Amino acid sequence: MNMQVLLKDKRHLFWMLQFAGWSGWAMSFYLGIIVWGKPPEHYYLYLPFIATVGMLLTLVLRALYRHMWEMEITRRIVAIAAGSYAAGLVWMAVRGTVFYNMYPEERKVTEERGMELLSYFDGAVSAFWVMLVWSALYFGIKNYMATQELRERSLKAISMAHEAQLKMLRYQLNPHFLFNTLNAISTLVLDRDNELANVMVTRLSRFLRYTLDNDPMLRVTVTEEVEALRLYLDIEKVRFDERLQLHFQVEEQASQALMPSLLLQPLVENSIKYAVSQAIHGGSITVSARVDGESLCLQVIDDGPGVDLNKKEPSKGGGVGLSNCRERLKEMYNSRQSFELSTTNPHGLTISICIPLEFGSRAL
């Protein structure tokens, strides 16, 4: 059985600790006898027996402690002390009975010295401490495991909420984008440009198939993100034709870096909406990716009218696309990311994103 699975199985863990603990006690007791003198004959039979009796008594304590687990702390402490003391007395009585029956000569020596009561009292105190230590370990381990379970449930709940938030943000884009595209197709149909409308529907289906097949909880390489952008831009090219000029500048080192899937699509859509569609002669959009130290830096640059950054806070500008992108980055990278808007020279808007540079595993 896998050790990690074994440690998570409470029943197996309890018995493993029981056998380890009582075996350790028997070994240490035997070594103590050897240090102080020669152990009596057949002591190797006596020790396992009394260790087993001790273990059975702790099972009774376990049942008692499980019954009183919800008690207030004061009553629980009293019950632990009383239970440990009672178990120690019973254990010592069994030990004394078995010992003096196996070794009657030892009993004679004790009686002759008048130390029988003192010997029993001393052994009972020792047995009480053994049971008390066992009780403390039982409660300590049980409380630790309960705390770990609570922590795991809390982390799982946070993880599920985090995942749900990310999926919500990703899937929020589809209705937003779909509305714009279907509106454009409707316009083409009204203009009786059925051939172009058919081309646009075909390209839309290709892009939607990509978004549905692509798990929003997985990351993609920059190259794959650019290919997804091309699927989207194939649709927009139908609408704008030569009015939309596209440029991709992806450094070779950045091409295999990982990034959230479809992160750039709403930013490009934002540029098309505010920069290209409102200009008589259209406009150009540049998408770049480069490595800067330990960061992957992405930019979407347009040459439209831009926004007045002095009057409008970056955190409030740009509509659904920009706010969605900001929220996704915060959910995924917390403070290890940056999202900034700046003015393109001589005019336009530049959106700059920096995220940790990562390769390899695609899971978020």
Q: In the chain, what is the straight-line distance between the N-terminal and C-terminal CA atoms, in Å?
A: 30
DSSP assignments along 102-158, one per residue: H-HHHHHHHHHTT-HHHHHHHHHHHHHHHHHHHHHHHHHHHHHHHHHHHHHHHHHHH
As given in the structure block, the two tokens for residue 86 are 């009672």
Which of the residues in the chain have pLDDT under 50?
1, 3, 112, 114-115, 117-118, 312-317
d(CA 204, CA 262): 15
Q: Of 229, 352, 361, which is closest to residue 296 (Cα–Cα)?
A: 352
Alpha helices in the chain (DSSP H): 3-8, 10-36, 43-67, 73-102, 104-112, 116-190, 194-213, 222-240, 265-271, 319-333
pLDDT of residue 166: 53
Percent of the chain with pLDDT over 90: 15
pLDDT of residue 287: 94
d(CA 141, CA 137): 6
In this structure, are residues 237 and 204 in contact, taking their beta carbons and an 8 Å threshold? no
pLDDT of residue 109: 53
pLDDT of residue 111: 53
Question: How large is the C-alpha radius of gyration of the chain?
Answer: 37
pLDDT of residue 358: 92
All domains of the chain in start order, with CATH: 3-156 (no CATH), 218-356 (3.30.565.10)
* Burial label, 320 (beta-carbon count in 10 A; 0-12, 13-18, 19+): middle
Tokens 């390769």 belong to 359
Alpha helices in 222-359 (DSSP H): 222-240, 265-271, 319-333
pLDDT of residue 223: 93
pLDDT of residue 221: 92
9 SS3 class: coil
d(CA 78, CA 160): 42
